Amino acid sequence: MLAKCYLHPREEAAGKCDVCKKPVCRKCAKKTEGKLICRNCQGKKPGSAVDTDELERQERIEKAKEASRRNR
Ligand SMILES: [Zn+2]
Ligand SMILES: [Zn+2]
Protein backbone atom coordinates (compact mmCIF):
# COMPACT_ATOMS: atom_id res chain seq x y z
CA MET A 1 0.00 0.00 0.00
CA LEU A 2 2.15 2.82 -1.27
CA ALA A 3 0.96 6.37 -1.07
CA LYS A 4 1.18 8.67 -4.04
CA CYS A 5 2.56 12.15 -4.06
CA TYR A 6 -0.28 14.59 -3.49
CA LEU A 7 1.14 16.89 -6.15
CA HIS A 8 1.88 14.12 -8.62
CA PRO A 9 -0.79 11.42 -8.53
CA ARG A 10 1.38 9.21 -10.72
CA GLU A 11 4.50 9.45 -8.56
CA GLU A 12 5.04 7.20 -5.60
CA ALA A 13 5.58 9.09 -2.41
CA ALA A 14 9.11 9.04 -1.04
CA GLY A 15 7.91 10.15 2.35
CA LYS A 16 5.63 12.50 4.20
CA CYS A 17 6.05 16.22 4.46
CA ASP A 18 6.83 17.09 8.04
CA VAL A 19 4.80 20.27 7.80
CA CYS A 20 1.52 19.28 6.15
CA LYS A 21 1.90 15.48 6.68
CA LYS A 22 0.99 14.76 3.10
CA PRO A 23 2.79 12.11 1.03
CA VAL A 24 5.27 13.63 -1.38
CA CYS A 25 7.53 12.24 -4.08
CA ARG A 26 11.27 12.86 -4.35
CA LYS A 27 10.76 15.70 -6.77
CA CYS A 28 8.53 17.55 -4.35
CA ALA A 29 10.16 16.71 -1.06
CA LYS A 30 13.38 18.34 0.05
CA LYS A 31 15.38 17.24 3.02
CA THR A 32 15.94 20.16 5.31
CA GLU A 33 17.66 19.57 8.62
CA GLY A 34 16.70 15.91 8.47
CA LYS A 35 13.06 16.64 7.74
CA LEU A 36 11.14 16.19 4.54
CA ILE A 37 9.44 19.36 3.44
CA CYS A 38 7.22 19.45 0.38
CA ARG A 39 7.37 22.11 -2.27
CA ASN A 40 4.30 23.90 -1.09
CA CYS A 41 5.59 24.14 2.44
CA GLN A 42 9.08 25.23 1.37
CA GLY A 43 7.93 27.74 -1.15
CA LYS A 44 6.06 30.16 0.99
CA LYS A 45 7.86 33.02 -0.71
CA PRO A 46 5.83 34.75 -3.38
CA GLY A 47 6.74 33.53 -6.82
CA SER A 48 8.34 30.24 -5.88
CA ALA A 49 5.03 28.39 -5.74
CA VAL A 50 4.20 29.35 -9.31
CA ASP A 51 6.07 26.39 -10.75
CA THR A 52 4.02 23.83 -8.84
CA ASP A 53 0.77 25.66 -9.42
CA GLU A 54 1.44 25.82 -13.11
CA LEU A 55 2.26 22.11 -13.30
CA GLU A 56 -0.83 21.26 -11.34
CA ARG A 57 -2.99 23.47 -13.52
CA GLN A 58 -1.66 21.81 -16.66
CA GLU A 59 -2.30 18.37 -15.22
CA ARG A 60 -5.86 19.37 -14.38
CA ILE A 61 -6.40 20.71 -17.87
CA GLU A 62 -5.11 17.46 -19.33
CA LYS A 63 -7.38 15.45 -17.09
CA ALA A 64 -10.37 17.61 -17.91
CA LYS A 65 -9.69 17.08 -21.61
CA GLU A 66 -9.45 13.34 -21.12
CA ALA A 67 -12.62 13.28 -19.07
CA SER A 68 -14.60 15.26 -21.61
CA ARG A 69 -13.43 12.96 -24.37
CA ARG A 70 -14.51 9.91 -22.45
CA ASN A 71 -17.90 11.38 -21.73
CA ARG A 72 -18.68 11.71 -25.37
ZN1 LIG B 1 4.05 20.13 3.09
ZN1 LIG C 1 5.55 15.10 -6.40
Proximal ligand: closest to the CA of 5: 2
- On whether residue 7 sits in a domain, the answer given is no
How many independent structural domains does the chain possess?
1
Question: What angle is formed at CA 38 by the lines to CA 17 and CA 19, rounded to 5 degrees?
Answer: 45
Distance 25 CA to ligand 2 centre (A): 4
Q: Mind listing the pLDDT tens digit for each residue in 17-47?
A: 999 999 999 999 988 888 899 988 886 654 4
Interatomic CA distance for residues 17 and 67, integer angstroms: 30
Distance 42 CA to ligand 1 centre (A): 7
- pTM of the predicted model, to two decimals? 0.55
Instruction: Domain of residue 19: give its range.
Output: 15-71
Distance 19 CA to ligand 1 centre (A): 5
- On whether residue 27 sits in a domain, the answer given is yes
- On whether residue 30 sits in a domain, the answer given is yes
- On whether residue 21 sits in a domain, the answer given is yes
- On whether residue 6 sits in a domain, the answer given is no
- On whether residue 10 sits in a domain, the answer given is no
Proximal ligand: closest to the CA of 14: 2
